[in-house]
Amino acid sequence: MARSSSAKKKKQQQQQKQLSAWRFLFGGCLMGGGGGGGAAGSGGSKVRPRPRPTAAAKQSSSPAGGLLQQRLSVTDVMSTCSDQDLSVSLVGSNLQVFTVGELKAATQGFVDSNFLGEGGFGPVYRGAVAEGAKPGLPAQQIAVKLWDPEGTQGHKEWLSEVIFLGQLRHPNLVKLVGYCSEEEHRLLVYEYMPKGSLENHLFKKFPPVLSWSTRLNIAVGAAKGLAFLHDAEKPVIYRDFKTSNILLNPEYEAKLSDFGLAKDGPEGDDTHVSTRVMGTHGYAAPEYILTGHLTAKSDVYSFGVVLLEILSGRRAVDKARPSRERHLVEHMRAWLKDPQKLGRVMDPALEGAYPAAAAHRAALVAYRCLSGSPKSRPDMSRVVEDLEPLLAVTGDGDGDGDAAAAQEEAARKEERARRSRGEARANLWGVHHCTIFTVSMMIY
């Protein structure tokens, strides 16, 4: 009994510590109280923004440059704040709090000509803020994401985006400039990424075709972003890693966006996070689909899918293809470990302009990431270690890719010739056997 009481007391102290940290970093929560109203994402009630505190929290000086001191998790926020009337104000994050009117002006009233695309949260529009529009905010182009009440995401996803990107900083994560929480409106404001998504460049034929070196650089950047999340003091599982969530800056450097489905990873003795299965068909790890057990290795599997898409130029799921080719991983994974089959994997749009040795090593990384056993998959830090040296391997347009393709074609021709010789021998034996049988009948 004494041990049980001690454990209970320790748990209460830990919860109180989390609550104190939350109150220190954030502006606090309005629990119920006058004015009424509920969470905007769950029934149409309203969230009323509070003025931002003027005090600034201390920031960590970690080499990664990425975390506020004592980063809070979404679990901390949800467990200490009421969903009924929540006001989020990140102290020390340098996030700007916008009004709906300011964002309408920035996007010219969300005019169609500024429309960039749409996801599960809602449509995204291009905009611009002028110098001096907000204290401390330089003039810049922005991307504004609006919450669509009819979409698949809502207030919790909006909150996750603000909590994670409000505290995380890394060159391979998209920068959250600010947010808006006004009445029923939920908006997110990001740095503008002029080259759009990797999905558009791979599958929607945006000119020019991405070169081998550009594709590999994008893969390395995305891997670094995931490794940063997984290796943080409070680990983060991205949960929705896919080509449409990898945005590209003017130098085609990758930045991960859309943290609405991200989850705090397991800590201490916990091996996984149990959660409702969410994500995108074709990218989710098989064990996560079956059990709902989410780990960092779930992200590693998704990275393997994206790396295979980068290599092959094919979508993870493509219903326009023959049935045996619709699911990319099922169709191509076995080929990834065989250098003789590299030509079957690589995107024909590259026209053989890639160093075969480097491409094969990248294919092996994808093969390991796509293992059916989570324990057999590498950590993302190891993926970075394996892929980054390949950037120094030159060979675009030097014929290495052509040689690999020619070798593969020669192998296919030899296989066809072998089968043809086998069929000829079978036919000859059949004729010979038939002749002997006919002569025997005549003698009889």
Q: What is the pLDDT of residues 43-100, one digit of tens each?
A: 333 333 333 333 333 333 343 444 445 666 666 665 555 433 334 445 456 788 899 9
CATH 3.30.200.20, the chain: domain bounds: 53-191
Domain 198-264+280-402 sits in CATH at 1.10.510.10
Of 76, 83, 148, 240, the catalytic one is 240
The residues, ordered by sequence, that sit 6+ positions from 98 with a Cβ below 8 Å of its Cβ are: 134, 178, 179, 180, 187, 189
Contacts 24+ apart (CB under 8 A), 404-410: 404/339, 404/342, 404/343, 404/346, 404/352, 404/356, 404/359, 405/343, 405/346, 405/352, 407/340, 407/343, 408/340, 408/341, 408/342, 408/343, 408/344, 409/343
Tell me if residue 240 is catalytic: yes
Residue with more model confidence, 286 or 17? 286
Q: What percent of the chain has pLDDT over 90?
A: 45
Token pair for 81? 């704040």
Mean pLDDT, residues 317-322 taken together: 93
pLDDT classification of 203: cutoffs 50, 70, 90: very high
pLDDT tens-digit map of 125-134: 999 998 888 8
Lowest mean pLDDT among 78-82, 244-248, 369-373, 377-381: 78-82
Query: What mean pLDDT, rounded, does the chain reach?
Result: 75
pTM of the model: 0.72
DSSP 8-state class, residue 56: -
Lowest mean pLDDT among 282-291, 342-351, 417-426: 417-426
CA distance 201 to 313: 10
Q: Cα dist. 160→19, 238, 264 in Å?
A: 18, 11, 10
Token pair for 342? 């590299």
CATH 1.10.510.10, the chain: domain bounds: 198-264+280-402
State which CATH number among 3.40.50.10880, 3.40.50.1820, 3.40.50.300, 3.30.200.20 fits the domain covering 53-191: 3.30.200.20
Lowest mean pLDDT among 24-33, 296-305, 388-397: 24-33
pLDDT tens-digit map of 158-190: 887 888 888 888 999 999 999 988 888 889 999
Mean pLDDT, residues 265-269 taken together: 62
